Amino acid sequence: MHDFASTPWTPSSWRSLPVQQEPSWPDEDHLNRVLTQLASEPPLVFAGEARTLTAGMAKAGRGEAFVLQGGDCAETFAADTATNTREKIKVLLQMSTVLTYGAKMPVIKIGRIAGQFAKPRSSETETVDGVTLPSYRGDAVNGLAFTEEDRIPDPDRLLGVYHHSATSLNLIRALVGGGYADLNRVHQWNREFVADSPQGKRYELMADHIQSALDFLHAIGINAENSEKLRATQFFTSHEALLLGYEEALTRLDSTSGDWYDCSAHMLWVGERTRQLDHAHIHFLSGVRNPIGVKVSNRMEPNELLDLISVLNPDNEPGRLTLITRMGASAIRDALPPLLAAVKEANKTVTWITDPCHGNTITSESGYKTRRFDDVLDEIVGFFAAHDAVGTVPGGVHMELTGEDVTECLGGDQDIADLDLSRRYESACDPRLNNAQSLELAFRIAEILQRRRNIV
């Protein structure tokens, strides 16, 4: 194991360690010029906001709140429109309302948004009709079009990531703070969406109940004008910390605390392919004070996980470290309990959430990369069951979803079949649950939370 003590942390100390998934940038000088420019740009988020999220994640770790983290697998510059952002926020607000109403618990809302532009790839290359080209690594690196030119990594794209993140974040802040998230709009979020679908109708019913509670509050003098909580909500951003040069450039010293924060997003996570204990990504995240996450598959051994926790959260600070399990519906019931037990036994304080997407990716008969709604749900059910068996806290969900009516995942109430996938398959990377499937899942999770609440 690498001796971390011999590598004192600075924002650039990761450079002396092995780095996985780093693109082959054709021109180092060009890359460095871009990174120097990014280092002089304003931060996108502030340290105090990240600390607020840490406190929220700590609550979720104790079972006093529930985390809803979701958004695209890969954001793209072309799809980064005001409409798409608003629809994503809308579906997340709807889901969060369903969960809050069902679980009677605050929901911590975190988007895979305003920065999720880089993708790790299992294969360096992609072959289509006998032609082999470098894999698409996200708009942060190269282009999706299957041409030689598009697939060349271009550092100027990192400036695009920064600017797209800034404009998205600006819109998100306006939406959640400027009246769009006002609970009195609970009905409006349903309009032009799935109002006629079974999920839409179910949502309408719940919205009626919420409206009636709001009318009651209004009658006794509590309303959106005098209560911030009714008028606005908190919404946080997150992405995979994959391109460490970019993350380093956005890492700033917080004058209040004297600590380093990666100000590209509130929360950063390290993926399944870059979580090697003695490598650059884990080392980088060990030194920034944001709340951080690590993806944990069924290939993780208990001892490896305990070592990882010691490196990333040596002070056992609540909310600092979130473990995002992604094991697959068929593996989670066997693979998760030993990890939960080891962490509990060692008295390590972490927040556990489930990513029920990445362990359930399949190729459909017609050749689409897809997921079955039922597998996604089954992994969530397995996640709760594993925590109940060990006596630990299931703290939330992390999902790939979109606010659009796409056809990328199979099943759900709409009963999307293999032959439907071609109708609106728009993801640049992994398949996303569409708006109706996302809402349906929120209702199913709310039912589970409600049941557990009644038992506890």
Residues near Co ion (CB under 5 A): 73, 430
State the pairing for strand pair 66-71/362-363.
unpaired
Closest CB to Co ion among residues 34, 110: 110
Closest CB to ligand PEP among residues 4, 269: 269
Tell me how far CA of residue 112 lies from CA of 88, 168, 353, 366, in angstroms.
10, 12, 14, 28
Find the binder of ligand PEP among 58, 60, 67, 73 (CB under 6 A): 73
Binding mask 234-253 for ligand PEP (x = CB under 6 A): ------x-------------
Closest CB to ligand PEP among residues 90, 358: 358
Least distance between Co ion and beta carbon 415 (Å): 24
Angle (CA) 225-230-231 rounded to 5° is: 60
Closest CB to Co ion among residues 248, 430: 430
Asked if residue 326 binds ligand PEP (CB under 6 A), the reply is yes
Closest CB to ligand PEP among residues 404, 430: 430
Answer yes or no: are the C-beta atoms of 82 and 65 closer than 8 Å: no
Answer yes or no: are the C-beta atoms of 211 and 102 closer than 8 Å: no
Least distance between ligand PEP and beta carbon 213 (Å): 36
Site for ligand PEP in 78-117 (CB under 6 A): none
**Rounded CA separation 175/84 (Å):** 13
**Which residue is it, tokens 């925590």?**
387
- Which residue type occupies 246? Y
Mark the segment that binds ligand PEP (CB under 6 A) among 39-47, 124-132, 266-274, 330-338: 266-274
Answer yes or no: are the C-beta atoms of 400 and 432 closer than 8 Å: yes
Closest CB to ligand PEP among residues 90, 326: 326
φ and ψ at 302, to 5 degrees? -55, -45
Asked if residue 295 binds ligand PEP (CB under 6 A), the reply is yes
Answer yes or no: are the C-beta atoms of 427 and 406 closer than 8 Å: yes
In this structure, the dihedral spanned by the alpha carbons of residues 16, 21, 24 and 25, taken in order and rounded to 10 degrees, is -80
Closest CB to ligand PEP among residues 252, 275: 275
The contacts of residue 135 (CB under 8 Å, 6+ apart) are 121, 123, 124, 125, 126, 151
Residue 72 interacts, among ligand PEP, Co ion, none and using kind-specific CB cut-offs from 5 to 8 Å, with: none
Residue 295 interacts, among Co ion, ligand PEP, none and using kind-specific CB cut-offs from 5 to 8 Å, with: ligand PEP
Residue whose C-beta lies closest to ligand PEP: 271
- Nearest Cα residue to 27 out of 152, 162, 143: 152
Site for ligand PEP in 269-288 (CB under 6 A): 271-273
Site for ligand PEP in 136-165 (CB under 6 A): none
Interface with ligand PEP (CB under 6 A): 73, 120, 240, 271-273, 295, 326, 358
